[in-house]
Structure 1
Amino acid sequence: MRLFRSQSSAYRFFGLTFSTLFAALAISFTAAAQTLPTHISFDPETHIFRIDSADSSYIFGVNESEQLQALYWGKRLADSDRFSPAKSMPEVASFDAPSTTTQQEYIGWGGVLYVEPSLKITFPDGNRDLRLKYLSNHIDGNHLSIQMKDISREIYVTLNYDADGETGILRRSAEIENRTGGPVSIEEVSAATWNLPRGTDYRLRYLTGRWAGENTVQEQPLNPGKTVLESRRGTTGAQNAPWFAIDHRNENDSEHGDVWFGALGWSGSWQITIEQDVLQQVRVNGGPNSFDFAYHLAKGAKFQTPYFYGGYSDQGVGGASRLLHRYELDSILPQAPKPKVRPVLYNSWEATGFDVTETGQMALAEKAASIGVERFVIDDGWFGQRKTDHAGLGDWYVNPQKFPNGLKPLIDKVHSLGMDFGIWVEPEMVNPDSDLYRKHPDWVLNFDGRPRTERRNQLVLNLARPDVRAYVYGFLDKLLNENQIAFLKWDYNRNWSEPGWPAVPVDEQKNVYVDFIRNYYSILAELREKHPGVEIESCSGGGARVDLGVMHLTDEVWPSDNTDAFDRLLIQNGFTYAYTPGVMMAWVTDSPTWVNNRTLSLQYRFLSSMQGSLGIGANLNKWTPEDFDTAKKMVAQYKGIRETVQHGSLYRIITPEHDSQQSVTESVARDGHEAVVFAFLHSSRENYPYPRIHLHGLNPTARYRITSLDGKLADDTPETASGAWLENRGVDVDLKGDFQAMSFHLERLP
């Protein structure tokens, strides 16, 4: 075959303005510990590519039409197993040619294609036919790159595969290069296409939500047709999370069975399509959302897609979650492969709202320090003429009436109490009632001559503009240079509207969907490089900007503005399907909350929040001495277990899904030396006892000391027991009543 030739020259990974970001991510990926062998090979006789990593194998080949054809994705095969050369599916009818029915790794829209394409391009002459053929490949350790090209036009596509030896997760992306004589328009582009083994009994899991109700787990059978998960909101959005998991419908044990899962690392408008074709084959595409999308790719330019991560587990959706958690901790987070534990923080928002003063914040800082808080965060209201949410956004100077001597006296006070200092910002937004907007009304997303829709009394700055990008980076850099700030809570409190960019030519205006996010990433990356000691939280009116793209550049995320401790059990449960508890901020706030007017004990609220990264947001000015005593005890208790909670292996023993009356989680330390269990009860019924808790992830022959941390274990609970006993016989707890909670600890004995 004439297109099979020697491997290409050294692989060039990234292009355009994403280069710094992606290079940093590549470094963190390489740094991840690899405890299991990874092997990538290409058989020149059969033209088969094989990626064996951890407990999975991923195999595809070049077929007789010089297309890349998927062959296998699942549990790791024996080294001696061989595959026959790839061969296109036979034609079943004139309506569905082999190009539609053959499972392809990456396919352009052209010829006879009726499934979702991986790439769609319009050329200046109106041609929209794109047919990609295999050219060459290059293997470098755990990295594989494959170059493809259109049959006649100078459009090149490089597919990139990186395999993680510890989890088997593949990180995939595509680079589109325009070597034609003029610009082209990319109208749809996937980072990767995933093909599952042929089957008819698949079930899809995904996450849906809204403000104050994020991360609800949904399940549905996969039937012929297409399911689209997406955000059209400019950023990630809470409506769907960019994550999926697919298993078999008859496998209902969360710890057993085959699961294929994936997560898209993109913080802009995105889409994931899950499609079962006419032969009941399942394919998954993911990338920037194609709605209202057209990226103007100039002559000689390259377009680098985001990453689309995919993995396989034979240990159910629980095993899939743990693989993702491990991968995020070891390869995604800024401090990977050894992220620090998240400090216990206090945020002053619920205590003061916009009524921020130097003396008031100092008084709260003293109270926070008394219970063991390690980070004090001042929220909205410290800057500009910010007295309500109607004014001040965009004017990032310290309000002289509230802080006559700047922030230094407050920061010095916080430091003297043994805490570091954090501050709230909302850099991408502007109030029309601000000096910035009066000076630069053209800086917001807008269409000429059309209304500018305000939400929360604010508009969205067009961060795709170089001058806006320079302004945002400049004031953040100045704020950090002039103050000893250890933490930024970066908020984002509305979605896009009127996504216009009238300052650039018409054929470039839709580039705003990509260039905005690229500039957002580049600001985060540049701030981290210049201020390496500063940590950042991604917040968007709750959990509306959480994805593996932003997680590489931020240290923690805010899952929801809903801090009702009972509601949070469900929100946090869904969150952990896709994201590690190590980044999941969970606050103890006042009760009853504004959400449900439900009254919950302080102990219950703490135990709910202690399943993630603990924060406190209550109004400490209203606490009783007994509240402070309880909080001090539980903060100290959390510090003793947080390494295991944040970085250990999570098991959902009983989920709060489907209106369950109980919820139980277990976190096992990475080295297995301890485990901690949290148990919650909504309401007792008819004098039934709490279900017995059967633990997971323990060494069956080791012995463990069992200690109640909060609440009561059953009277017949032994002081020590084997892992086998704890998993098979199980532990009984004494929980009765309404909204009760307890926790207990397992320590492995020498």
Structure 2
Amino acid sequence: MSSIHYHHLHSVRSSLVLSCPDDGLPAIIYWGAKLPEHTDTQALGLLHSKPAHGGTLDNHPPLSLVPEAGRGFLGAAGLEGQADRKHWAGQLQTQAISQPNPGTLICDARDPVSGLALNLTLTLDGATDVLCARGTLTNRGDSTFMLDRLGLSFPLPARADELMTFHGRWIQEFLTERKAWPKDRLVRENRRGRTSHDSFPGIIAGVPGFQETRGEVWGLHLAWSGNHQLVAEKTSLGERHIQLGEWFYPGEIALAPGDSYQTPEVIGTWSDQGLNGLSQGFHQYVRQQILAPEIGQKPRPVHLNTWEGIYFDHQPEQLKAMVREAAAVGVERFILDDGWFGKRDDDTSGLGDWFVDESKHPGGLGYLVDAVTQAGMEFGLWFEPEMVNADSDLYRAHPDWVLAVSGYDQPLGRHQYVLNLSRPEVSDYLFERLDNLLRTYDIRYIKWDMNRDLTQPGNAAGQASAHTQTLAVYALLARVRTAHPEVEIESCASGGGRVDMGILRHTQRVWTSDCIDALERQRMQRSFSYFFPPEINGSHISANPNHTTGRRHSLGFRLITALFGHMGLELDVVSMTAAEKAQTRELVDIYKRHRTLLHSGHTTRLDTADEALQAYGVVAADRSKALFAAATLALPKQMLLPPLQLSGLDSDRLYQLKLWLPPEAAGPSPAPSVLQAQRGGTFSGALLMQAGLQLPVLNPEAALLLELEARD
């Protein structure tokens, strides 16, 4: 009879307890509120021991970190594959297990029959309560092992009976859906070769009715920028687990003897303070463990990106005028978007030819870079390194450099193919072009785009290679950052098609969506914030009407929406009226005054009594100040909005409250509200959180700001 050992990982507010049998793999038996450090974990194991049940196997099949079909687990197995049509239902056995510190567990297991070896490493971060787990499978057998799946499973208690999943589309990412945990299995799968617009690799489970400010919740995310599969399953025995892993094409991962495969990181956390507690843990983990340190040290500069202002129409005099007007409204980084290279007058040609088009920019980009830097701004430049147009010198010279399957037509996407970055000559060419331009010009920022899905991602041998392509993208990004550590990189993929914590290890900002319609962005940015902090959310003020939806919104609504992210402009600032420029400058100054708070504090979304009202803010870690926004997404159900209860303040402190209400936001009212007329006031944190404050009458699709500072 095998013996079972127990390991207790603990952090500042949570605990993770695992049972570790000698003849099997570790299994999570507890994940939740912190237990005393000297908890009797054997007693916990006894309390959770599973009895046998008639009509099933004599011994309860374990729901381990990697559930095994070979041990009788009949749900979603964590390890699937075969070697010469054998070893498809193995049994891994723990060889060694250690806990080098209170938050880390390392397990080494091996299947003596197949020769497969599995390393599992789990770390519960002591400062943020965030769990990071990954596995490495090594073939120590004599035959090639064809790996079909390696996913990690996280059991959750029966009370976690409601799920929040993420879906969407281009220009409408990060939509959420809430549902009861199904009776069998929910599967979210992505085969697009990038993170995707429609299946973000994250999921949240919680007690039914969990809200922003209350309820127990668990969140899990696969930090991977390629294909993936998420499974939320309830077995016939009543157990439930969420399993996350990469999705493979047939034959994609062939482990020859001695080869290894490492899973993407699974990053998760628990909160008993609703979705706010969950996101605050994720945010601090991203800031402390994932983002480059300089992101927290350097204020996030205000951007102007030229795309929606001029598209491909690059005219030097107009660009220099944009530079002057951008500087005048407070812009700090000027990014020249698509159209500066090759023969690139539209999206049908030029990709891959990363040489300045001197018919548009005589003598190169030096004149523009100089104008930008002399105006006190940084210069940024758009690239799409992974892509090539059929109508390009690069493709004509190297048609074999694209991902494709020989003998079949490769479908085009946006008139372009995908380059096979796993070929050294391809990544070397791209690095040389990027490196040359970064050394030639004072470029401090790259907008790195990726505008199509991967289809038929075959390498030169005709083998599926979506996995190696993702790793090659990471490697090229790392190579560029190593050579040019002063250059920041934004991950854009037709908007939010590549937003995940894997890409954030190599980039410093993401373009959340190609849609910067303020109404759509209000919705998207809320659910984006469940996993990601505001400073990495590229959020720009759009032109009017909006270029992707045709909607018209007031400048104030557009400005406030962009404020709660990494703020920028995406329009022709030259054509703005003097009044619009003055209002833009006013909110740019508000952003600059508050960006340290916005990009270091605790994001706090508020529960509201009317779904037409969305409210959220950021509270300083020491609760000395806060900035909240209240936005009407539609016409409220009642004439007066319900009182808004703030959150995250110190109950015992007094706060000076100020309102900033754009003129066009004020709804039909014969006079300002008393609070508005008095320009705010001084109130206790307790009153603001427990009683709330009456908002002014607002038009639909409008917003106001609430600034709070403690009066100590």
TM range (shorter): over 0.9
Among 563, 579, 588, which residue is 1:626 paired with? 579
**Where does residue 143 of structure 1 map in the other structure?**
104
Q: Does 1:129 pair with 2:80?
A: no
Structure 1 position 684, deviation (Å): 4.5
Partner Cα distance (1:209, 1:471) in 2:
35
Alpha carbons of 1:288 and 1:669: their partners in 2 closer, same or farther (altered >3 Å)?
A: same
Which position in structure 1 is the counterpart of 2:29? Answer: 71
Mapping of 1:441-460 within 5 angstroms? 441-460=399-418
Q: Partners in 2 of 1:213 and 1:279 — Cα distance?
A: 38
Q: Determine which of 698, 705, 708 is the counterpart of 2:659.
A: 708
Segment of structure 1 superposing worse, 203-212 or 161-170: 161-170
RMSD over aligned Cα atoms: 2.1
The alpha-carbon deviation at position 605 of structure 1 amounts to 0.7
State the partner residue of 1:240: 199
Q: CA deviation at 1:139?
A: 2.6
TM-aligned CA distance change 1:533 to 1:336, over 3 Å: closer
2:669 corresponds in structure 1 to: none
Q: Give the superposition deviation at 1:121.
A: 2.7
Q: How far does residue 200 in structure 1 lie from its aligned partner after superposition?
A: 5.9
**What is aligned with 1:328?**
286
- 1:378 maps to 2:336: yes
Q: Structure 1: how far apart are the matches of 2:137 and 2:295?
A: 30
Please say if 1:689 is aligned against 2:631: no
Query: What amino acid is aligned across from residue 694 of structure 1 in structure 2?
Result: Q
Does the 8 Å contact 2:185/2:234 carry over to 1?
Answer: yes
Contact 1:48–1:62 (8 Å) recurs in 2: yes
Deviations 1:72-125 (A, max 9, x none): 11111123421337577444245556464x321223442533111222231135
Offset at residue 204 of structure 1 (A): 0.5
- Supply the distance in 2 between the matched residues of 1:169 and 1:721 (Cα, whole angstroms): 35
1:220-369 equivalences under 5 Å are 220-249=179-208, 251-292=209-250, 294-335=252-293, 338-369=296-327
Partner of 2:532: 579
Contact 2:212 2:607 in 1 (8 A): no
Determine helix, strand or coil for the equivalent of 1:241: coil
SS at match of 2:299: coil
CA offset at residue 395 of structure 1? 0.5
For the 8 Å contact 1:573–1:655, the answer to whether it is kept is no
Q: 1:310-362: CA deviations, max 9, x gaps? A: 21111112211111111111111122783533210001111211111332221
Contact 2:632 2:700 in 1 (8 A): yes
Greater alpha carbon shift after TM alignment, 433-442 vs 643-652: 643-652
AA at the equivalent of 1:675:
A
Which residue in 2 is equivalent to 1:167?
128
- Map 1:416-455 to 2 at 5 A: 416-455=374-413
Matched-pair contact (CA < 8 Å) for 1:122–1:186: yes
The 1:52/1:464 distance shift into structure 2, 3 A limit, reads: same
Contact residue 178 and residue 300 of structure 1 kept, 8 A: yes
Q: Secondary structure at the match of 1:257?
A: coil
For 1:584-623, list aligned pairs within 5 A: 584-623=537-576
Is 1:679 the equivalent of 2:679?
A: no
Greater CA deviation, 733-742 or 580-589? 733-742
Unaligned runs of 5+ in 1: 5-45
Asked if the contact 2:23–2:94 (Cα under 8 Å) also holds between the matched residues in 1, the reply is no
The residue type paired with residue 86 of structure 2 is: G
CA deviations on 1:660-700 (whole Å, 9 max, x unpaired) are: 22111121012322100111124545862122111111111
Counterpart AA for 1:736:
L
After TM superposition, list the pairs within 5 Å mapping 1:455-466 onto structure 2. 455-466=413-424
Contact 1:344 1:614 in 2 (8 A): yes
Secondary structure of the structure 2 residue equivalent to 1:599: coil
- Aligned position for 1:178: 139
Q: Distance in 2 between matches of 1:744 and 1:69?
A: 47
Q: Indicate how the Cα distance of structure 1 residues 169 and 97 shifts in structure 2: closer, same or farther if over 3 A, else same.
A: farther
The corresponding residue for 1:522 is 475
Residue 412 in structure 1 maps to residue 374 in structure 2: no
Letter of the aligned partner of 2:179 in structure 1? Q
Q: SS of 1:338's equivalent?
A: helix
Tell me, yes or no, if the aligned pair for 2:454 and 2:466 is still in contact at 8 Å. no
State the distance in 1 between where 2:29 and 2:438 align.
52
Partner of 1:323, secondary structure, is helix
The structure-2 alpha-carbon separation of the partners of 1:201 and 1:234, relative to structure 1 and needing over 3 Å to count, comes to: closer
Q: More deviation in 120-129 or 164-173? A: 120-129
Contact persistence 2:143–2:257 (CA under 8 A) = yes
Q: Secondary structure at the match of 1:448?
A: coil
Q: What is the DSSP-based 3-state SS (H/G/I as helix, E as strand, rest coil) of the residue aligned with 1:275?
A: strand
Shift of 1:595: 3.2
Query: 1:535 maps to which residue?
Result: 488
How far the C-alpha of 1:631 sits from its partner, in A, is 0.9
Q: Identify which range, 515-524 or 702-711, moves more after superposition.
A: 702-711
Q: 1: distance between equivalents of 2:424 and 2:299? A: 36
Q: Secondary structure at the match of 2:170?
A: coil
User: Does residue 519 of structure 2 align to residue 552 of structure 1?
Assistant: no
The aligned residue for residue 612 of structure 2 is 661
Residue 237 of structure 1: how far off its partner (Å):
0.3
8 Å contact from structure 2 (residues 210, 217) kept in 1: no
Residue equivalent to 2:7: 49
1:42 maps to which residue?
A: none
Moved more, 475-484 or 285-294: 285-294
In the aligned structure 1, how far is the partner of 2:236 from the partner of 2:383? Answer: 50
In the aligned structure 1, how far is the partner of 2:183 from the partner of 2:252? Answer: 29
Given that residues 676 and 744 in structure 1 are in contact (C-alpha distance below 8 angstroms), is that contact kept between their aligned partners in structure 2? yes
Tell me by how many angstroms 1:429 deviates: 0.6
Match of 1:722 in 2: 684
In structure 2, the residue matched to 1:216 is 175
**Alignment-derived partner of residue 37 in structure 1:** none
Asked whether the 8 Å contact 1:159–1:175 carries over to 2, the reply is yes
Give the share of equivalent positions with the same residue, in percent. 31
Distance of 1:372 and 1:304 partners within structure 2: 45
Query: Residue deviations 1:216-270, cap 9 Å, x none?
Result: 1111111221111221101110111111110011x34321221111111110111
Aligned equivalents of 1:108, 1:253: Cα separation in 2: 35
| Contact 1:414-1:420 within 8 A present in 2 as well | yes
Cα distance in 2 for partners of 1:153, 1:301 equals 14
Unaligned runs of 5+ in 2: 667-671
SS in structure 2 of the partner of residue 631 of structure 1: helix
| Conservation of the 8 A alpha-carbon contact between 1:97 and 1:112 | no
Q: Separation in 2 of the partners of 1:337 and 1:434? A: 36
Q: Secondary structure at the match of 1:486?
A: strand
Amino acid at match of 2:77: P
Tell me how far apart the structure 1 counterparts of residues 417 and 282 of structure 2 sit (CA, whole Å).
35
Give, in whole Å, the separation in 1 of the partners of 2:440 and 2:57.
65
TM-score normalised by the chain length of structure 1: 0.89
2:148 alignment partner, one of 178, 187, 191: 187
Q: Which residue of 1 aligns with 2:703?
A: 741
How far did residue 526 of structure 1 move? 1.5
Segment drifting more, 367-376 vs 699-708: 699-708
Cα displacement (A) at 1:290? 3.8
Equivalent-residue separation in structure 1 for 2:134 and 2:581 (angstroms): 50
Query: In 1, Cα distance between the equivalents of 2:233 and 2:58?
Result: 17
TM-score normalised by the chain length of structure 2: 0.94
- Partner AA of 2:619 in structure 1: V
Task: Check the 8 A contact 1:231/1:289 in 2, yes or no.
Answer: yes
User: Which residue matches 2:40?
Assistant: 82
Superposition deviation, residue 47 in structure 1: 1.0
Q: Deviations over 1:454-497 (max 9, x none)?
A: 11111111222222222222221222122111000000111011
Amino acid aligned to 2:120? L
The DSSP-based 3-state class of the residue aligned with 1:632 is helix
* Alpha-carbon shift at residue 283 of structure 1 (Å): 1.0
Q: Which moved more, 1:61-70 or 1:541-550?
A: 61-70
